[in-house]
Structure 1
Amino acid sequence: MGSLSIIHLSDIHIKNSDDTILKRYEEISKACVSCVKDKSTLVIVVSGDIAYSGECEQYKLATKFFENIKQYIENEKNIKVEVVISPGNHDCDFSENSSVRDILINNINPTDIDQEYVNNVIAKQKHFYDFVLQYYDDMNNRICWEKEISIDNNDVLFVSVNSAWMSELHEQPGKLVIPQSFLPVIDLNDYEAVIYVCHHPLNWLNPDYKTPFIDHLRNNADIVLFGHEHYKDNYIQTGKTYELINYHGKELQNSKSSESGFSIIAFDDDFKSYNVKDYEWVENRIYNRINDNDRVFERNKAIRSVYSVNESLLDYIDDIGINVKHFAKENIVLSDLFIWPDLIKSDYKNEKSGSVRISDNYFKELCENKLSIIVGESTSGKTTLSKQLFRSELNAGRCCILAYGQNFTTSTENAIIKTIEETYKKQYSGDYLEEFRQLPRKNKTLIIDNFDSIQNNNNRRSKVIDCVSNQFDTVVILMASSFAITTLLKSEVINSSDELYYYEIKPFGNKKRKDFISKWYKLNNVSDTEKTIDEKIEQAKGIVNNFLGNGASFIPAYPIILTGILQNKDAFSQSIHVSKYGYLYESLINQSLASIAEYETNSGLYNLDTEILSGVAYEILHRKRTAITKEDIGSYSKKLCEEKILSNVHVEQFIDRMQRAKVLIEEFSNGDGYKFKYPYFFYYFAAKYIANHLNDEQVQNLMEHMSSTLHNETYGNVVTFVCHFNSDQSVIDNVMINAYEKLDNFEEFDYSKDNPIFCEIKDAVKHFIPQKISSNENVESNKDAELKQMDKMGMNDGEVSKGEDYIDDTISEEDKNFAEIVAALKTIEVLGQILQNYPADISGQNKIKIIDEMHRLGMRSVNAIIETMKYLKDDLINFVYESSVKNKSNISREEIENRIRTLINVIVVGMARSMIHQVARSLSSELLLPAVEKTYENDDSISTQLLMTDLKLNCLKDKVNYDEIKQLRDKLDKGNELFAKGIVDSIVGRYLNYNECDFKLRSKFCNLCGFAERPMFASVSENLINS
């Protein structure tokens, strides 16, 4: 349960029911409750002298005392309370003389102490053991006993030492012995902390025999809690091979004075630090906090070896590297969110061998290679991957060094080795340097991040590779670009190998994005139900996909980008200036610009730079180029400064700032100077300029042109971005006018049986109706399988399209139909964005017009696709037949015609089905549902009914109405509308296979559509229906 806290009590000396301390249990409990976290574990640790004279009645009072504290705390907070106790000299009952015991103690020989000897001596502690057994499962060892406590999979070991087993009524320092044979064997690595509890400080032990016990503590304990001397103290004992934290507890009750005190030690969740609060009694009032100190928790040095990494490096390894605001966890660490990225593996020496995408288990492969090169740009998560590889190597039991290219400043072998050894000393310990030197190569791994930051004077990079390859069995280097590999080719290690594998870090595809989003919403989420979490994951997937471009790919799906989307998604507050997506893009861009230090001292510079970026982006768009020269940037910035009456901008400094922020990059391919690093920067700033200058005639003309040329990817995306910034009626009018004109020579596709096309395609609809329906338990695996298939096909896989050097908006006559269809689909998307971004800005009547035209345009698009496929059919048959003859295949032309016809029929049905979903997805907002229903209230066409069914079932999902769907399907069945009925079954089948729902509802749908159910699900469903 969360973190661990310890209340250290000592020397309670309970004598009788009149004891003052018994009445103060509530004050002690209140102090605990005030500083201990909810949902945590509290251990009451008593370092001896529970009783005053070891009597049975005194322990009955002690039991009640501890129970009162425990109950009070558990009633006030959700806290698990445990008890750990060791005895003190006052826990011996000396009421009866024991001459045999005295003889045994006075003639002790530590090497001959056995169980019989111990049993005779500890008889004075009989009542103590009767009392303490209630808190332990096993106490066969009466000298040392253990209690292991688990806190969220972190195990902590408490070891109680019976230093009072041979105490006497009037004991003197230097007489006690802890027999070595009774001390436990402990592996420090099994625990987050090992805490010993011992009543007597070490000066009370016999000096001739205390060394084995002291060595035992130094080798096994992180913290030792003492009592007995009634003096509060703490200190750290440090030696070359150990580091031991010691705490001496204040007495809780003293018969000779009113002094009373205790301490509370609270660890953080990760056992990296702890806080100590000391309390003292203020007479007749309260336990007052007198000290409050935070300290770093350093494990005992004894746990360390040549393989032991220091804590500061582990903190760095788990540092996520950016400030992340999460809804349920305050301090996010790398391991909370890390997902292994996909890599593209290529052989630099054998380009003809091609490349392969690897997703899983490549850690083993990288570690088996003598040399592996990983390539990834600055935002790809390259450094994060190096950290995770380092952690994995540690977990595999290897000594791993994480070095950085900038540290290799000279080329001599001695200097390179010295750099490695200095890194080892910083990351591990100088105490084990010689052991590190002598470790076998097979036990050592070297990871060098930012390898391309090594200056390549005198072929230094090749020399580093050759030198370290002699020292380490596995070397992994990470660099920003594969172009830098050419600088390594002088390496003897590389030249002597037949292969040179390099691995390119890829953006997260569909499956990895889903895994990342799932981690985000499941992390520390104790307030939401599983159903709610799944709904949030699905909603976030949709937002992320739209944000990345939904296939347009204008921003890479790297983890840092996804983190920015998710943490800002819920922070969005609607404004009159931008939509939710506009806000998210702006947040991400601000994150990039935040790296510019000059903005901290000159806040106005940020405003000026973003205005220049907007103007530069517009100039690029207006000139139909994708890059711009330094001179043109200077010309625009000068014009802006004159217009705004500002000091001139130093163009070199502006470009330097934008390159440091990774907004602009140098472009050499077409002679121009600079371009935006990612398309979304360009779209964002161009759209922002347009949105702010809609009254400008030139801008209006460009918007009209772009709205009529949405088949062009750049124009389509810029218009979409404009919709994120502005709901101006002129923007809507431009898109709507062109929507009316798009494919106006085509009729709307008719889903009824009267459509003659159905004579050809009626059998193809079966390919879209699932043969079997999964149970709820298989829904997630179905989703994952679909996402993996999309990744395999390169659909919306997180990659950024490279783009062209020029914006070509011309269309050849033969491409005109395709361009019109692409423009129609983009128009539907843009209109959907307008409706979803600004539902309150658009009048009800205009909403109805837009929704109606989106539907009509979608239906015209289907007919346009069918006509286009007719033209393609003969060309495709001829092409396949000619290829068949050339390859001497024995396939007849007739068979080829049949296969091509079947393929085209499947494509046509697929488009008819997917267009329904395309329009439905564009209207997928609960706020829009009333307008959609109003639009179609008097429209009983089949396409409209299919659209409404898909919208409610597969887009909004919580609007499922079985009776409506049954009524529609019965109507179609009665009218012999077999094709439309097949589309309904396809819509229902998709819902069932990709969404969890009530068992009875699932079974009713299966019976309605005639779906076969999976065997186990079928039997469950049958029982439910019968009941």
Structure 2
Amino acid sequence: MNYDYIGDDNSVIEQCLIVQEPFWNFESSINGQETKPCIYKEYIDDIQKEVVIFHSFNTAWMSSINENVGSLFYPIKNIEETINTKATINISVFHHHSSWLNPNTEENNKHEFSELINSFSDVVIYGHEHERQGMIHTDLNTHKECYIFAGEALQMNQAKKVHSGFQVFIINTENRIGFNYPFHWNGTIYSQQEEQKFSLKEIGHNNLDFHSNQAFLSSLNDMKLPLFFNDDKKIKLKDIFIYPDIEKTNDLKKELYENYVDSSIFIGSSNYKVVLLEGENQSGKSSLINMMYLDSILHQKFPLLINGKCFKKMEIDKPLEKAFIEQYENKSFEEYSQYSNECKILFIDNLNSAELNNKSILELLKKLENRFSRIIITTSSIYNIISVLESTTKDVFCGKILPLGHKKRNKLIENYHRLNEENPYSITEQIFLEKTKDSYEQVQTFLGDKLIPSYPIFVLSILQSMNLVKPNNYEQTSYGYCYQSLIHFALAAKAKIKNEDIDTYINYLSELAFSLFDKKKKSLSDIEFQEFHKNYSANYIAPSFTEVRDKLLGSGLLVYDEDEWFHFGYNYIFYFLVAQKIATILTEEKGRKIIQYLCKNIQVDKYANILIFVAHHSKDSFLIDETILASMIPFDDIEPITLERNGSFNELIKDIIQEFKDDIIRSNTDPIQEREKSLESRDKLELQMKDNTYEEDYQNMPSEIISFYQAVRSLEIVGQIIKNRKGSISKQKLHEMIKELYLTAFRTIGFLGKIVKSTKEELTISIQSKVEKADSKSEIAERINLFFQLMSFNFCLGIFSKVINSVGNRDLKPIFDDVANELNTPAAKLISFSIKTCYGKLSIPELRLLYKEFENNPVALRILKARVKSYLYNNYVKYDERQRIASTLKMSLIQPRGNNLISRT
């Protein structure tokens, strides 16, 4: 058997594989999915950011009874290009040792197979010999090592003599230390034999030529943000890192989603010679480039990392050689320079720190392009080399590092909780899911609507702050503590301000923010800044202007833009500090007038957010009373909907309910997948809305639209105050606030119903007047009617969701019930039921009562069923409980075709 015999097609191999059909059927039954016969297959497993690949070589594809040593053939050429070795650990598994392969072919199949296996494998496991062996193979030329193990068969031999055993391998993917535990049948039990310890070489040492300096790799993998966990474990970057998305800024495509890519693609992609990634100060540029460096080693590359500040002249060899000596340990820089460019990647961190002008930078990059297959660069978002590079260089990708979207934000939170869990293997899937959801919602509360960009450092800082405060006590002081911690961290860690001076700088920032707010300004010039400092210094002790300015710029809390204006780096800093000042004067006439002004203009994002932050700083009842009043004003003349069977809103949408009747529940949904799909949808929606972000001109808007914005904002503000302050507000006041929040939502829906009714009639008459045929007029009226009904129903669900997200909290369940009982309408009962199932376990007895009450109310029943389906799809619910829930609602529980029990090999 040789390559000529098997030919270019796979017909010979496919024919021989037929006899193995029982094995492939067995594998299919285990995996729950069809497995096609093959001579090579990969099994990939992702273990907490570490990728392990099992390479299964079917060396028995042409095996026969009474075969001879050297009689088999394995077609390496047919599979070698498909082998993926980009893993933390590569384990090769096969039955026949290479000695069974034919050494007399033109290529020497025995040597060909051994050379391939040993070139990439960390561990090799084979059978057939039925004898336990363990050895280490070292290539003296490349210093590549792999551990080779063989074992006994788990069976009796033909002579009925006991000869049976098995082995267990445990490998720590972090320190790469492994243990082999052999077991042998002693006639009674399988007894453990002497264990064998082995140590796999570090990643970077098993590359063919250049060995990475492990101390340097370890420094890249260190977490720069200190994270404290329950067991004081030391967290590495790779344990928690999530690759951010990149927004393309050059050569924009027409399709929206084509302008956004995952940053991980640049490690293996060869589409671009130069990749330039710009990012804000806290966007995680250095962490991104460090992770790319580490992962490029898994892609069999020999990367080099250099900081932009190392390029002070046009000389490139000296800084490159210095970087090489620091990062590699077994060969010379000259050997590296002469090595194939295809295997080399250059990473330049903070190109903006290079002491070169734009022309020199371009010349420098042209020189470097001749030395590396790819250059990946990070730079400041205000660095002006980007536009020059875009216009003068081909094969270049320019992009902006984006904050984490909803899906990736959720993944980061999952990573955090897995690392923080004392025993991650004992926690149930549902409890872990609930912890992730709770943290996600709390993080969302902190991030707000564009208050804080969801860069990993902010998300992790928020999680860390919540972890350090008293558990389950996220009220005013706790939320305030988290925001305060972010500001404190920026001053202490970034600006290196002494702890005893932190209060001085926070007070300075608060007065500066309030001064801008009072003057209705967003930024100030250098002269205005100096004037403010002069006035401030007359009332408070403060360092010199130069020292304060430089420290605040160094912290990133204050930014000096390219137009030479000073402004706060992020909205949350400005709003938080303005609110801090307002809270100190809330008992004064000026403070109360400010609160009244903010409530009157609650539809404006800036004012709404400042109100939320004031609630973080103050417990004054005046603030609560004013926000309740603000929520009552919009649509105070509109009757709130009730969703009673014969109510006006039900009459408006009753036809569409029958049109989209859905009484089927899927039985085997995966809550994680459902959650990911939901988060992906939110990400896509935000991308669509991204280009529509502008400040509304409320002065020129109709009063009804302003009232609508005020109503929606009131839901958010009152909800936030309730959640943040639930531990310091009386139950009676909480009841009053939640009741008014419900009624505001119901009046808002009622307002839309009124608008829809009049608009629908006007539009129908207008279009029908242009049509002559009677049947066409009837069809037009029906279509317009269904369109407006669908829009109204979706709007109703949207407002319900707004209430659930705004005020939802598991600690307030009794109050939600009390409010629903007091209002005593289907709408109120549905809202309270929805909140409780979103933030807790569904009660089947309560579901039965609601079903009985809504059985003859199609609209209320449709909303109830939708809420229950959402609960079932987004939580781990046992099958028998799903059956009881489906039976209660008289819905069908089905298992869709094509769903596999296991979705990943």
Distance 1:787 1:598, change over 3 A: closer
Distance 1:872 1:410, change over 3 A: farther
Aligned amino acid, residue 713 of structure 1:
D
Residue 449 (1) aligns with residue 349 (2): yes
**1:494-525, CA deviations, whole angstroms, 9 ceiling, x for partnerless residues?**
7463x542122211111111111111112362
Equivalent residues of 1:318, 1:335 under 8 A apart: yes
Q: Where does residue 166 of structure 2 map in the other structure?
A: none
Question: Which one of the candidate residues 583, 601, 615 is aligned to 2:481?
Answer: 583
Question: Which one of the candidate residues 625, 634, 655 is aligned to 1:733?
Answer: 625
Equivalent residues of 1:509, 1:796 under 8 A apart: no
Shift of 1:949: 1.6
Question: Which one of the candidate residues 941, 952, 956 is aligned to 2:825?
Answer: 941
Equivalent residues of 2:203, 2:297 under 8 A apart: no
1:665-744 to 2 correspondences below 5 Å = 665-667=559-561, 673-744=565-636
Measured in 2, the distance between the counterparts of 1:978 and 1:786 equals: 26
Report SS of the residue matched to 2:384: helix
Shift of 1:444: 1.6
Question: Which one of the candidate residues 799, 819, 823 is aligned to 2:710?
Answer: 823
Equivalent residues of 1:851, 1:932 under 8 A apart: yes
**1:438-485, CA deviations, whole angstroms, 9 ceiling, x for partnerless residues?**
212222221212122223337221011110111112222222227524
Q: Where does residue 286 of structure 1 map in the other structure?
A: none
Equivalent residues of 1:309, 1:428 under 8 A apart: yes
Measured in 1, the distance between the counterparts of 2:205 and 2:320 equals: 25
Equivalent residues of 1:690, 1:722 under 8 A apart: yes
Residue 571 (1) aligns with residue 471 (2): no
Equivalent residues of 1:306, 1:432 under 8 A apart: no
Q: Where does residue 395 of structure 1 map in the other structure?
A: 298
Equivalent residues of 1:306, 1:433 under 8 A apart: no
Shift of 1:598: 5.0
Residue 752 (1) aligns with residue 647 (2): no
Measured in 2, the distance between the counterparts of 1:825 and 1:513 equals: 25
Report SS of the residue matched to 2:619: coil
Aligned amino acid, residue 956 of structure 1:
Y
Measured in 2, the distance between the counterparts of 1:863 and 1:796 equals: 28
Measured in 1, the distance between the counterparts of 2:852 and 2:328 equals: 73
Q: Where does residue 345 of structure 1 map in the other structure?
A: 248
Q: Where does residue 991 of structure 1 map in the other structure?
A: 871
Equivalent residues of 1:638, 1:649 under 8 A apart: no
Question: Which one of the candidate residues 795, 798, 803 is aligned to 1:911?
Answer: 795
Residue 657 (1) aligns with residue 551 (2): yes
Distance 1:577 1:851, change over 3 A: closer
Distance 1:901 1:614, change over 3 A: farther
1:5-20 to 2 correspondences below 5 Å = none
Report SS of the residue matched to 1:625: coil
Report SS of the residue matched to 2:270: helix
Report SS of the residue matched to 1:811: helix
Distance 1:383 1:783, change over 3 A: same
Equivalent residues of 1:366, 1:372 under 8 A apart: no
Distance 1:598 1:531, change over 3 A: closer
CA RMSD of aligned residues (A): 4.2
Equivalent residues of 1:709, 1:809 under 8 A apart: no
Equivalent residues of 1:306, 1:436 under 8 A apart: no
Residue 593 (1) aligns with residue 491 (2): yes
Q: Where does residue 833 of structure 1 map in the other structure?
A: 720
**1:258-310, CA deviations, whole angstroms, 9 ceiling, x for partnerless residues?**
xxxxxxxxx99944999xxxxxxxxxxxxxxxxxxxxx999799967642211
Measured in 1, the distance between the counterparts of 2:683 and 2:750 equals: 29
1:226-625 to 2 correspondences below 5 Å = 270-271=174-175, 306-328=209-231, 330-348=233-251, 356-359=259-262, 362-363=265-266, 366-411=269-314, 415-429=315-329, 431-457=331-357, 459-481=359-381, 484-486=384-386, 488-489=388-389, 495=392, 497=394, 500-523=396-419, 525-549=424-448, 552-573=449-470, 578-596=476-494, 599-600=497-498, 603-625=499-521
Distance 1:640 1:486, change over 3 A: closer
Distance 1:868 1:328, change over 3 A: farther
Aligned amino acid, residue 459 of structure 2:
L
Measured in 2, the distance between the counterparts of 1:214 and 1:371 equals: 37
Measured in 2, the distance between the counterparts of 1:895 and 1:427 equals: 74
**1:104-160, CA deviations, whole angstroms, 9 ceiling, x for partnerless residues?**
xxxxxxxxxxxxxxxxxxxxxxxxxxxxxxxxxxxxxxxxxxxxxxxx9899xxxxx
Shift of 1:880: 11
Report SS of the residue matched to 1:594: helix
1:24-43 to 2 correspondences below 5 Å = none
Distance 1:936 1:772, change over 3 A: closer
Shift of 1:897: 6.1
Distance 1:831 1:592, change over 3 A: same
Aligned amino acid, residue 384 of structure 2:
A
For structure 1, the residue ranges without an aligned partner over 5 or more in a row are: 1-151, 156-183, 193-212, 223-266, 275-295, 886-890, 1021-1027
Aligned amino acid, residue 557 of structure 1:
S
**1:720-753, CA deviations, whole angstroms, 9 ceiling, x for partnerless residues?**
1111222210111111222232221111113112
Equivalent residues of 2:348, 2:377 under 8 A apart: yes
Q: Where does residue 26 of structure 1 map in the other structure?
A: none
Distance 1:435 1:571, change over 3 A: same
Equivalent residues of 1:554, 1:800 under 8 A apart: no
Q: Tell me the matched-pair count.
A: 727
| Structure with more relative contact order (C-alpha pairs < 8 Å, separation 6 or more) | 2
Equivalent residues of 2:304, 2:323 under 8 A apart: yes
**1:302-361, CA deviations, whole angstroms, 9 ceiling, x for partnerless residues?**
96764221112211221222212233561110110111211222435x687876212386
Identity of aligned residues (%): 22
Distance 1:191 1:977, change over 3 A: closer
Equivalent residues of 1:507, 1:558 under 8 A apart: yes
Report SS of the residue matched to 2:810: coil
Shift of 1:663: 0.6
Shift of 1:758: 3.1
**1:359-407, CA deviations, whole angstroms, 9 ceiling, x for partnerless residues?**
3862366433222222222211222221222222211112211122111
Aligned amino acid, residue 549 of structure 2:
I
Q: Where does residue 39 of structure 1 map in the other structure?
A: none
Measured in 2, the distance between the counterparts of 1:800 and 1:616 equals: 31
Measured in 1, the distance between the counterparts of 2:475 and 2:787 equals: 48
1:131-146 to 2 correspondences below 5 Å = none
Question: Which one of the candidate residues 847, 867, 872 is aligned to 1:965?
Answer: 847
Distance 1:873 1:588, change over 3 A: farther
Measured in 1, the distance between the counterparts of 2:358 and 2:642 equals: 73
Q: Which moved more, 1:369-378 or 1:459-468?
A: 369-378
Distance 1:496 1:580, change over 3 A: closer
For structure 2, the residue ranges without an aligned partner over 5 or more in a row are: 1-87, 92-114, 124-136, 147-170, 179-198, 901-905
Aligned amino acid, residue 808 of structure 2:
S
Report SS of the residue matched to 1:720: helix
Measured in 2, the distance between the counterparts of 1:794 and 1:218 equals: 50
Equivalent residues of 1:510, 1:796 under 8 A apart: no
Equivalent residues of 1:622, 1:702 under 8 A apart: no
Equivalent residues of 1:617, 1:686 under 8 A apart: yes
Aligned amino acid, residue 841 of structure 1:
S
Measured in 1, the distance between the counterparts of 2:396 and 2:204 equals: 41
Shift of 1:580: 2.5
**Structure whose CA Rg is larger:** 1
Q: Where does residue 158 of structure 1 map in the other structure?
A: none
Report SS of the residue matched to 1:344: strand
TM-score (norm 2): 0.72
Distance 1:649 1:844, change over 3 A: same
